[in-house]
Structure 1
Amino acid sequence: MTSHRAKVGVVVIGYDDAAHVADAVRSALAQGDAVREVIAVDDCSTDGSAALLDALAAEEPRLTVIHRAVNSGGCGSPRNDGIDAATAPYVMFLDSDDVLPPGAVDALLGTAEAHGVPVAAGLCVRRELPSGREVPWERALYAGPAVLPNPSRRPRLAHDTLCVNKLYRTDFLREHAIRFPEGRYPYEDYVFSARVLAAAPRVALIPDTVYVWHVRRDAERLSISLDRGDISNWRARTEANRAAYEILLGAGEKRLARAVHAKFLDHDLRMYTRELELRTAAYRRDWWDHTRAYLSTFDAADLTLNPSAPGRLLARVLLASPAPRDLPRLRELAARPARLLPPYSRASDDTPVWSSDLPQVSLEHFLERPAHLLPLAVDAELHVGARATRLRLRLHELYGRVAQSGPASAHVVFTRREDGRVGLRGEARLLPDRYGDVWTGETPVELSELAPGTWDLRLTLRFGDGTDREVTAHALGGSGLLRRRVVLDVHHSVGRVLLLQPYRTHAGALALRAASGWRGMTEVLRRRLGRLLH
């Protein structure tokens, strides 16, 4: 068996991150003998990071520290410094605020050597802090092991724009001159990843978790991917997508280039659309104009190949309207799963359309799509009575397609966001109104059974034809936060209370925050005040 000893270099980059960089470096060193060197590139920090790294290097011979004389303003230049300094046959990348889980290097290196591939990739998980909730990134892509003779065999690879969950053969990067954009270039990994795919390497995929991406939404300085409040962030994202597309198209990789556009529509466009209502009117106008200009460069097939896909429908509405419109409805369509709220308009020839004043955006494809795959809209509202709290649901008809499947019931689940724990279950029988426009149902919910945390409502609609559809519910009850409730906290000592805060998420869905005791209540109110002030 081929030895895995001392064959990998881990490039750790950081800027003013003394609170976390040591943990990142130690997680790389802790990978064991497979790691020949850890190259820490300090991007001219001013918070003591450089001295901290030098102190670590004095005790660890495998650690080399590179001190940049001038801050680069981005992540690309320090990573390029690491590539240039690497002496190991393989290299991988690690950001100062993230960590490598135990066994990550062994898993990637073992796979790369066993199959003789220049690129091996594994699963990355996004870990929300401080809750610890973990969300896999591109889980389906890494569902099982695979060896691909060419990336074009699996176009979904273009959706995984991360550079950090992969191991690269160093001479492969150098032979093909694959580098990151220099200087301040947000989303530099989009470009780097496209350059890797354009070189058409054999790629091995493994289901092992090889990278932990820490998401700190309350950090004083947000990461580039989280700092989306300025229009420059969106411009940088579209520019990186454009560059990735052109790199792949120029390399003759049409399928992968088209996958870049598909990823933009399904991920990037939906994410920023969900947040549009939170922005200023000036931001929304700039965003709308810039997005329309970018979308106008797409091939027609990019928008019509799967016209019922939410991202493609969003794009068609944007291109058809010169000014921002229907933001609440677009937000719901951008949700996961998508929800298309009423009104459901028809053109003069009875064809389903987005609206009477935007008839060029046809929804005719909904008439042929199975009901359990449609963006069904369910409203949800909590009603607190003298003796019990009931969850009331209302399912909307969608051009007759819902009635054809015969809605029967809605299975109700409240799941804690932090750990996926199920707190409440229920079943609501769905009954049609006299006009056949909506189906309504309700179920009692014992809110006092919920432990502290954030609880998301998930529904499974069950139809008489044997199909079902998982959906989330549109929150009724006015904009912003809904009315708070105080109930007895049955999970703690007698006399303590539980504050329940129903609220509407950025995507418009109903969710609940639960805080135990007066201290918890104070913390919920403090966070609410903070959001109002910002």
Structure 2
Amino acid sequence: MTVAQPDVSVIIGAYEAMPYLVECLASVEAQTIDRGRIEVIAVDDGSTDGTGEYLEEFAARAAMPVTVIRQDNSGGPSGPRNVGLGKAAGRYVFFLDADDRLGPEALERMVAMADRNGTDVVLGRVEGINRKPPRSMWDRSFDRTDVFSSNIKFTLSAQKLFRRELLEQHGMRFDESLWTGEDALFTMEAYLRANGVSVIADHTCYYLVGRDDGKHVTKSGGYSLRFDSARALMNLIAEHVPAGERRDALLVRPFLVTLLPQFGPKYLKDSEQVRQHKFQLAKPLMEEFWSEGVARRLKVEERLRLHLVAEEKPELLKEVVEFVKAKKQAPALLERRGRHVYLVYPHFRKAAAAVPDTIYLAAPREARAFPGYREHSAGGTLLRRAARRARRVLKSRDAAARTRTPGGTAAAA
């Protein structure tokens, strides 16, 4: 008797997942997709809290085929996912974390979306429970899109529906040498290789659960691992996308999400040795991948921080990070009859800092966030007032710098 191929293989990597695993598996059982169209492959990664035993109990009573694999602890999610992927028989695979849960009808809707549009990856709307989920990609549903035409580059977790033929054709597996960011690498490659991506934005397909104990499947590790992750993702993007606008648009993601936080508020708590090491780790990445095309896609304060990293100016970076941490609003300076709006963050037009004005130049979408921008472009006065305030700030800074100089001689701040 020939057994029909399942539509979807749900791959669950589980480590010390109790009691969250109970609701996770209940969400699988509650799926509306026909039981003959689904299989579950669960990999217990050396748990000691009863996770493996509960998986076996579930397999014994579940109405769908369930395979349980128990192995020694591998140290992170990549190993179990790869083991599960090697056993999968479904047309599609879905990676479900053992402490999260599926939304109602999630698998049925995602498989139908992929079949209807012939797409290779389907993103289902994610909601958070005690965790902050990604937001920017759920404004609207797409039957078919790609990584260049949408915000999907900002959700690179593995909890998506992938056509298994795509993964097998390219020998795609999770990189077990990475201690963090392995899902970002896998998912970005799938986006780049996919014959279309679908987005379900009007129905919650996945619940991202924050554990009370703060533990998650993701490997933990020090800051240097974040630089490894950024490097891997940047190299992947460069390998698949020729230099130019499209590459720059994708490189925004590792710069903004992975690299920039290392030079945010946590930087102020770092020792001098750690700060120097971070600059050393960032240097080859900035030299190879940082460009004007990436920079102009960022907000001014983001661009300024990364510019100072690229220029190896840690003493200037600290003041900017303190300004950002304090959540201060930089004054807006209007010049050239409204064509240019500069945001006066620290070191603006200080000769000693030598930061180009272009670093402080707000893109139209950012300039519009400042009170009076629209009114001024139509003849109003609010932004002119903001400009006068900004000039007063610069003037007072210059005066203070001259006062601090021995003998009262003018000096660059």
TM-score by length of 2: 0.75
- Partner of 1:176 in structure 2? 170
1:33–1:404 Cα change, 3 Å: closer
Supply the distance in 2 between the matched residues of 1:193 and 1:71 (Cα, whole angstroms): 24
Supply the distance in 2 between the matched residues of 1:370 and 1:259 (Cα, whole angstroms): 17
1:187–1:304 Cα change, 3 Å: closer
Supply the distance in 2 between the matched residues of 1:288 and 1:340 (Cα, whole angstroms): 27
1:317–1:376 Cα change, 3 Å: farther
| AA at the equivalent of 1:237 | R
| AA at the equivalent of 1:16 | E
- Partner of 2:306 in structure 1? 315
CA drift at 1:75 = 0.9
| AA at the equivalent of 2:238 | L
Supply the distance in 2 between the matched residues of 1:118 and 1:256 (Cα, whole angstroms): 21
1:167 is the counterpart of 2:146: no
Q: Is the 8 A contact 1:10 1:91 kept in 2?
A: yes
- Partner of 1:411 in structure 2? none
Among candidates 142, 145, 153, match of residue 141 of structure 2: 145
Stretches of structure 1 that go unaligned for 5 or more consecutive residues are: 130-134, 345-350, 378-401, 408-431, 439-534
1:270–1:340 Cα change, 3 Å: farther
CA drift at 1:289 = 2.8
Among candidates 43, 50, 53, match of residue 52 of structure 2: 50
1:277 is the counterpart of 2:271: no
1:436–1:271 Cα change, 3 Å: same
CA drift at 1:366 = 4.4
1:36-435 to 2 correspondence within 5 Å?
Answer: 36-128=38-130, 135-137=132-134, 139-148=135-144, 151-154=146-149, 156-164=151-159, 166-182=160-176, 185-207=179-201, 208-216=203-211, 219=213, 221=215, 224=218, 232=222, 234-252=223-241, 254=243, 257-272=247-262, 273-306=264-297, 308-327=299-318, 329-333=320-324, 339=328, 354-355=346-347, 356=350, 358-364=352-358, 366=360, 373=367, 404-406=383-385
Task: Name the SS for the 1:94 alignment partner.
Answer: strand
1:415-494 to 2 correspondence within 5 Å?
Answer: 437=393
Cα RMSD, aligned residues only: 3.6
Supply the distance in 1 between the matched residues of 2:9 and 2:238 (Cα, whole angstroms): 31
Q: Is the 8 A contact 2:299 2:366 kept in 1?
A: no
CA drift at 1:185 = 3.1
Stretches of structure 2 that go unaligned for 5 or more consecutive residues are: 334-341, 372-380, 395-413
Q: Is the 8 A contact 2:113 2:122 kept in 1?
A: yes
| AA at the equivalent of 2:311 | A
CA drift at 1:188 = 0.8
Q: Deviations over 1:18-73 (max 9, x none)?
A: 22122212212211334511111111212221111111111114252433432211
Q: Is the 8 A contact 1:371 1:405 kept in 2?
A: no
Tell me how many residue pairs correspond in the alignment: 364
CA drift at 1:315 = 0.5
Supply the distance in 2 between the matched residues of 1:37 and 1:136 (Cα, whole angstroms): 27
Q: Is the 8 A contact 1:117 1:201 kept in 2?
A: yes
Higher percent of residues as helix = 2
1:323–1:152 Cα change, 3 Å: closer
By relative contact order (CA 8 Å, sep 6+), the higher-ranking structure is 2
- Partner of 1:20 in structure 2? 20
TM-score by length of 1: 0.60
- Partner of 1:398 in structure 2? none
Q: Is the 8 A contact 2:121 2:161 kept in 1?
A: yes
| AA at the equivalent of 2:204 | T
